[in-house]
Chains A and B, each alone.
Chain A
Amino acid sequence: MSAFLTVKNLSAALHGFDQRVLRSVSFSIDTGEVLGLVGESGAGKSMIGKAILGILPSAISIIEGEILIDGQDLQKMKPADRRRFIGATAALIPQDPLTALNPSRRIEPQITSRLVDILGWSKADARVRAMELLNEVHIDNPERVMGSYPHELSGGMRQRVLIASAFAANPKLVIADEPTTALDVTVQKQILRLIRELQERHSTAMVFVTHDLGVVSKVCQRLSVLYGGKIVENSSVPDFFKGPKHAYSRALLAATPKYTDPDASLLPVDESVIEAVAAEVLAADKEWRHGR
C-alpha cells in the first residue's frame, strides 16, 4: 500500500521573487505514523504544513510539485473541492491556543461547527460527539467547558480544546504546528502525551512541526531536518539520536540543552557549519534552475 500523504518536489515562492521559500521538499507518511519537521526560525517548516492544508499566506504560492493525500492530487482539484476534501480528511493543531479560538464565541460551537457545517451532522449528534471528545482529552467537566468562553480557560485547557476540535471529525491526517511552544513545560508534557495517545488510538498520520529536538524524540517515529526551506536530512528517530548524519543536524543536536549532560549540550553552532549548509542550499538552487 502506498503512503497516506506524499509530498513530491514541492517548491513555493514569494510572488514576484525568484527566491524559493520551499525548495523541492519531498517526504511521505503512512497511516498511523508521525513525522517531525524540525528546523530553526525561517527554515520553512510551518510553511509545509500550511501548503498541505492550503492555507499559505496570499503572498506565497506553490510553483512546483505535488501533494497527494490518500492518492488524490490536491493541485489537480478545483479550489472548492480541495477545501471540502481537506476539511473532511485533515485537521490542524495550531501553535497559539490564545488566538486560535474566537474570543467572542463559547467553546461548544467552536468544536461542533465543523461537524455541522462541513460534514452535515445534526446539532444534537455534534454535541454528543463534542462531549465525548472533551472526555477523550481528559477534561473533567465537559459541560462547563463547553459553555465557557476561551478567556475563562487556562492555556493548557485551551490547547486541549483545540486538540479535541482537531480530532472531532476523525481526520486521517493531522498537522500539529508547534502545538506546545506557548505552554509551560509541565503542561507541555501532558499535551504531548495527549496528542500521542489520540494519534495512536485513531491511527492518524501526523506531521509534527517543531523547533525542539527534545519534543521530536517524544512523539515522532521519523524526522526531517530543514534549513532554508530544504530538507537536509531524513532519518528515523532512533537512528537520528544515535548520531545524525548531516553536519548541520549534528550541530543542532549538540546545541539542544540537556540538563543531564551540561558539558556536552548547549554547544554553540559553528559559523562554518551554517555557511556550509547555506552553500548546499544555494548549490541545490542552481541545479534546480539549470534543470528548468
Chain B
Amino acid sequence: MVDKNGMANAAPKDNILFSARSLEVALPDMAAKPLFGKAPMIRILNGIDLDISRGSVLGIVGGSGSGKSTLGRALLRLIEPTAGAIEFDGRDITHLSEDALRPTRRRMQMIFQDPMSSLNPRRRVGAIIADPLQMHGFDNVTGRVDDALDHVGLPRGFRSRYPHELSGGQRQRVGIARAIALKPEFILADEIVSGLDVSSQAQVLNVLANLVKELGLTLAFISHDLSVIRRLCDHVMVLQRGNIVEYGDADSVFDAPQAAYTRELLDAIPLPDPRQAGW
C-alpha cells in the first residue's frame, strides 16, 4: 500500500472542494439472506480517503467490483455510506437530509454511463436540460439551455428531439449539457465513454476537457480504461476490491507505477501496436 495522502495533502486546505475520510459502504447480500433475520453485509468500500482540490481532475480507475462507481455515488450521496465522512466545500454533508442538501445539489452534478437510461425517454432534450434549471429557480431558462447546447457543440434545434433520436455520442453530450447548465463547481463522470464507439469517445472527451478548462470545473472521472484517464486527469486513484492501491499525480502513476496491480492493469492494455512487448 502506498501513502494515500501523499499527493492530496500537498494542496492547501482551503483549496479542497471535495474530501472523504474513512469512507465505508456495505450493502446487504440478498442472495445470502437467511429466511429470517438480516442479510449479511458485503463491504464494497473499505475506508477511502480522498481530497479533490478545486479545478483539478481526478481519475478513479479499477476493474469490475473495485467499488469505483460506488465511491462516486457515495460522494454525491446517491448511496448512503455506512461509515466515514464526506465534506463538500468545507461542509460535512454525510448526514444532511435530502431537503437540507438540495441547495448544494446544484453545485455537484453527475454525468452517467448510459445516457439511454439517464435521460428520461419520454421527455425532449430541451425539457431534460431545462428541468433542473427550473427546479433551482434559474431565470432565462431557454437561453441557458441554448447556451449549454452550444457548449457541448450540439445544434440548438436538438431541443425538440427525443433521446432515442440521437446517436450515442450526441446523447452523452446532452448528459454533459444537462450537468453544466446548472453552473456546478463539481462534476462526477461515471464511465461516460465506455458505451461509445472510439470516434465519438474522443469527441465526448474533448468536449469535456475543454469545458473543464473553460468553466474551471472540478471533475472526478471514473473509468475502467487507463488510456482514457491519462488523456484527461491530473491525479489518478487506482481501486481494487474497495481499497486504494495507488493514488498520485497522473504522470508518476503512468510512468512509475508503484503498486503491482497498477502495473498489471497497464500491461494488460492492448495498445494498437503489433510490436507491443509482453504479449
Write the residues of chain A forming the contact surface with B, with a CB cutoff of 8 angstroms.
Answer: 40-41, 155, 184-186, 188-189, 192-193, 211-218, 237-238, 241, 251-253, 255-260, 262, 265-269, 274
B residues contacting the other copy or chain, number (CB 8 A): 32
From B202, B226, B227, B270, give the contact of A268 (CB < 8 A).
B202
Main secondary structure on A side of the interface with B:
helix
In this complex, the member of B168, B274, B279 whose beta carbon has the largest number of chain A beta carbons within 10 angstroms is B274
In this complex, the member of A41, A155, A260 whose beta carbon has the largest number of chain B beta carbons within 10 angstroms is A260
Q: Which B residues lie within 8 Å of A266 (CB)?
A: 201-202, 205, 227-228, 231
Chain B, range 89-121, C-beta contacts under 8 Å to A: none
Given contacts A185-B265, A262-B230, A265-B227, contact A255 B270 (CB under 8 A): no
Chain B, range 253-279, C-beta contacts under 8 Å to A: 254, 264-274, 276, 279
Write the residues of chain B forming the contact surface with A, with a CB cutoff of 8 angstroms.
Answer: 63-64, 168, 197-199, 201-203, 205-206, 224-228, 230-231, 254, 264-274, 276, 279
Instruction: Provide the bound-state CA to CA distance between A155 and B63, in Å.
Output: 12
Q: Which 8 A-B pairs have the closest CB atoms?
A: A257-B227, A214-B270, A269-B199, A40-B197, A184-B63, A189-B268, A259-B227, A268-B202
B255 nearest CB neighbor, chain A only: A260
Least distance between B75 CB and chain A CB atoms (Å):
23
Evaluate contact between B201 and A255: CB separation under 8 angstroms: yes
Evaluate contact between A255 and B274: CB separation under 8 angstroms: no
Evaluate contact between A186 and B268: CB separation under 8 angstroms: yes
Can you list 22 pairs linking A and B with CB atoms under 8 Å apart? A184-B224, A185-B265, A185-B268, A188-B268, A189-B279, A192-B270, A214-B271, A217-B272, A218-B274, A218-B276, A251-B199, A253-B272, A255-B198, A257-B201, A257-B231, A259-B226, A259-B227, A262-B230, A265-B231, A266-B202, A266-B227, A269-B198
Q: Which B residues lie within 8 Å of A260 (CB)?
A: 271
Evaluate contact between B203 and A241: CB separation under 8 angstroms: no
Least distance between B274 CB and chain A CB atoms (Å):
4
Main secondary structure on B side of the interface with A:
helix
Instruction: Provide the bound-state CA to CA distance between A41 and B198, in Å.
Output: 10
In this complex, the member of B227, B228, B264 whose beta carbon has the largest number of chain A beta carbons within 10 angstroms is B227
Evaluate contact between B199 and A259: CB separation under 8 angstroms: no
Given contacts A185-B268, A186-B265, contact A252 B274 (CB under 8 A): no
From A40, A214, A262, give the contact of B269 (CB < 8 A).
A214
Evaluate contact between A189 and B270: CB separation under 8 angstroms: yes
Instruction: Provide the bound-state CA to CA distance between A220 and B273, in Å.
Output: 12
A190 nearest CB neighbor, chain B only: B268
From A193, A241, A262, give the contact of B272 (CB < 8 A).
A241
Evaluate contact between B264 and A255: CB separation under 8 angstroms: no
Evaluate contact between A217 and B63: CB separation under 8 angstroms: no
Least distance between A152 CB and chain B CB atoms (Å):
12
Given contacts A259-B226, A268-B203, contact A188 B198 (CB under 8 A): no
Least distance between A63 CB and chain B CB atoms (Å):
27
Q: Which A residues lie within 8 Å of B201 (CB)?
A: 255, 257, 266
Instruction: Provide the bound-state CA to CA distance between A218 and B273, in Å.
Output: 8
Instruction: Provide the bound-state CA to CA distance between A241 and B64, in Å.
Output: 30
